[in-house]
A and B are shown apart, each in its own frame.
Chain A
Amino acid sequence: MNFKNNLIKALIPIISILLALLTGALLITIIGGNPVEAYEYLLRGAFGSKNNIGETFVKATPLIFTSLAAAFAYKCGVFNLGGQGQFVMGAVASALIATTNNSLEGLPLIIVSLTAGTIAGGLWGMIPGILKITRGLNELIVSIMLNYVAILFMGYLYTAPLRNGSVPQTAAVRANLSRLMDGPRTHTGIIIAVVLAFGIHYFMFHTAAGFKLRAVGMNQIASFYNGFPVKRLMLISFIVSGAIAGLGGSIELHGTQNRLMSGFGDGYGFDGVAIALIAQLNPIGSLIVAYLFAVLRTGATTMQVGTGLPTAVIDIIQALIIVFAVAGSALTNMPKIKQVILKFSLASKKEED
């Protein structure tokens, strides 16, 4: 019974992905393209060479962080849509340390810079958390408003005080995360991301604190009467969520982009939420889905160059995965359908007996 339920749960994202790819193919056909050729370019772009395979990991890294951030908050029942703002603020804090003159260099610089980014992201995530528990404000609206503030603040920094040269961007960071291999840009950030995902998984499902957090997410009232500090747990989860995103921003700065400029971190926040939801808030699932999104992202550019189809097709496919996945899990949770599933699994159990 439990196994059957889990099977259905795991099937939803897979079916959603297939349906989304199918709908994408339909759209490509409608505007006169060849879907087989398009998907071939897509795969070639993601896996065609050592460089492309590496680039896919580079793209996956920030998405893993923002999706872990989204999942962490949502597991505790708070909705953090501010992933992009926290990601950006993490990078901003790092840029302030790593592109300006100070005595730090090399590994110590990176350690200090990543720590600063983590703290900055955590502080930025703390704002919606505090406003929620003290003023009862909708964390969703607050965190989104803070996204815009963070992006504009970053824009202000690279056009005025931290500007370097004629183009509006900062100087390059003075230390980079080391590359994993010759050629592709894949850096140690991906290792940090994977370790973090397993760490969060362990914390969520194998520690008492993680249990309390999940309990608040499942039933606030019951948790409250059990004596759990509901408000404090919510605030903590918001701070940790922001810190994860902030660390992601720092790593993106030190590993991939090297400087702040227009478009830094664009769309990673919402993509992160989508990935977390498709992965049903499972941190290990986040790794897989983030990788899939990175495959689509890296392949999209090759597809656009090769076939002339706009990369927006891929955006639609990504969005459709989440549309189908959410609708799909709602469908299996409907009272009527639930009964059918229950009957089905009971019947198959009898057969097994």
Chain B
Amino acid sequence: MENIMNLPFLQELLLSTMRMATPLLIVALAELYSEKAGLVNIGLDGMMAFGALVGFLTSYITGNPYLGILAGGLGGIMVNMIYAVATIQLGAQQIVFGMAINLFAPALASFIYKAYFGISSTLAQATLMEPMAIPLLSEIPFIGKILFHHTIIVYIAYLLVPISYIFFEKTKAGLNFKAVGEFPKAAESLGINVYRQKYLACIICGLLAGIGGAYLTTAYVSTYSDGIVSGRGFIALSAVVFGRWMPTGVLFAALLFGFADSIQLRLQIINPETPYQLLAMIPYLSTLFALAFFGIKKSGPKANGQPYFKEER
């Protein structure tokens, strides 16, 4: 027990919580932008997988993980444009189509990886992003290392929370954006271009989800493997529900699920004789329990999930 209750362990635990929460936070924010414009997108896992592959390949070829992150974001947008056209233009069922994206994008990622490296290659290694310590702040004892000794993506992810809050609550553009998810017909009659806002939401969603996936292969582990996302997109989806469609709530949820993820990893290290599968269940079970006890019925945008046709009035 004493190797759990000491300061270095706690510091490591909280540091890794910040790190593990980052992809969840970015991807949950991606979903938040999508749902605020009335588009439920369960294809997050797929977009992340594709972002992870594109990010990895770019960073492998150029040796620059920052380019990798950027390319991952673009990859996410590309995948999400398929979803955008099908759901916005054709009014395809969003959940069904998100499901299709979850099958298609990881298959495409796996195909590209194998086409590039060959079928039976050993794991290729790419350069990982180095942490950027923030001067002075990172020297604060104990919390300095936890909060201010990270890769740049981590800082960006956490900065996106206040930015999103201000956008949704304090700007006219944000209100217009939300109007599309609440009552598209009224929004249209006020001169808001509903389709354009929805496309914008899909671009933001694809970008962030792709970046969240690329984070896994450029800042977290240095390799790409099929199944690397392992349901993180769905955990992010739960974070939006659990965070009650608010940026601050999403932050809290992502930190909680990130904590669950990092505690199971720490426990695996200090208990090598416990079968790892039992500990690896913790993030999924804690997501389930969190939702079952604190999840809330219907507090999402009102027109969430419904197709919108201009012609039908």
Q: Which residues of A contact B (CB under 8 A)?
A: 27, 31, 79, 81, 131, 135-138, 140-142, 144-149, 152-153, 155-156, 159-160, 270-271, 273-274, 277, 304, 308, 310, 312-313, 315-316, 318-320, 322-323, 326-327, 329-331, 333-336
Known: A277-B96, A318-B103. A156 touches B277 (CB 8 A): yes
B interface secondary structure, majority: helix
Query: What would 7 A/B residue contacts be, using CB atoms closer than 8 Å?
Result: A142-B291, A152-B284, A270-B103, A310-B111, A319-B104, A326-B96, A327-B97
Q: Which residues of A contact B262 (CB under 8 A)?
A: none
A312 and B103 contacting across the interface, CB-CB below 8 Å: no
Which of the residues A131, A310, A316, A334 comes within 8 Å of B104, measured between beta carbons?
A: A316
A-B residue pairs, 5 tightest by C-beta: A330-B92, A136-B297, A315-B107, A319-B104, A310-B114
For chains A and B in complex, what number of residue pairs have CB atoms within 8 angstroms? 141
Which of the residues B101, B114, B281 comes within 8 Å of A148, measured between beta carbons?
A: B281
B312 and A335 contacting across the interface, CB-CB below 8 Å: yes
Q: Which residues of A contact B238 (CB under 8 A)?
A: 138, 141, 145
The answer for the CA separation of A255 and B91 in the assembled complex, in Å, is 42
B104 and A320 contacting across the interface, CB-CB below 8 Å: yes
Contact with A along B136-162 (1 / 0, CB 8 A): 000000000000000000000000000
Residues 205-250 (chain B) with a chain A CB within 8 angstroms:
230-231, 234-235, 237-238, 241
The answer for the CA separation of A316 and B119 in the assembled complex, in Å, is 16
A310 and B291 contacting across the interface, CB-CB below 8 Å: no
A interface secondary structure, majority: helix
Known: A156-B275, A304-B119. A144 touches B100 (CB 8 A): no
B309 and A316 contacting across the interface, CB-CB below 8 Å: no
Q: Which residues of A contact B106 (CB under 8 A)?
A: 315
B281 and A159 contacting across the interface, CB-CB below 8 Å: no
Interface size class of B (residues with CB under 8 A): 35 or more
Q: Which residues of B contact A131 (CB under 8 A)?
A: 291-292
Question: How far is the CB of A304 from the nearest CB of chain B, in Å?
Answer: 7
Contact with A along B270-311 (1 / 0, CB 8 A): 000001011011001101100110011110000000000101
Give the one of A140, A148, A313 with max B CB within 10 A. Answer: A148
Known: A136-B298, A327-B92, A330-B92. A146 touches B104 (CB 8 A): no
Question: How far is the CB of B276 from the nearest CB of chain A, in Å?
Answer: 8
Report if B86 contacts A (CB, 8 A): yes
Residue of chain B at shortest CB distance from A131:
B292
Question: How far is the CB of B82 from the nearest CB of chain A, in Å?
Answer: 7
Known: A273-B99, A330-B91. A315 touches B111 (CB 8 A): yes
Which of the residues A270, A304, A313 comes within 8 Å of B102, measured between beta carbons?
A: A270
Residue of chain A at shortest CB distance from B280:
A152
The answer for the CA separation of A147 and B284 in the assembled complex, in Å, is 9
Report if B173 contacts A (CB, 8 A): no
A322 and B103 contacting across the interface, CB-CB below 8 Å: yes
The answer for the CA separation of A312 and B278 in the assembled complex, in Å, is 31
Known: A31-B115, A81-B99, A319-B100. A152 touches B92 (CB 8 A): no
Residue of chain A at shortest CB distance from B112:
A312
Q: Knowing that A147-B231, A312-B110 touch, tell me 4 more A-B residue pairs with CB under 8 angstroms.
A: A135-B292, A141-B237, A155-B277, A274-B99
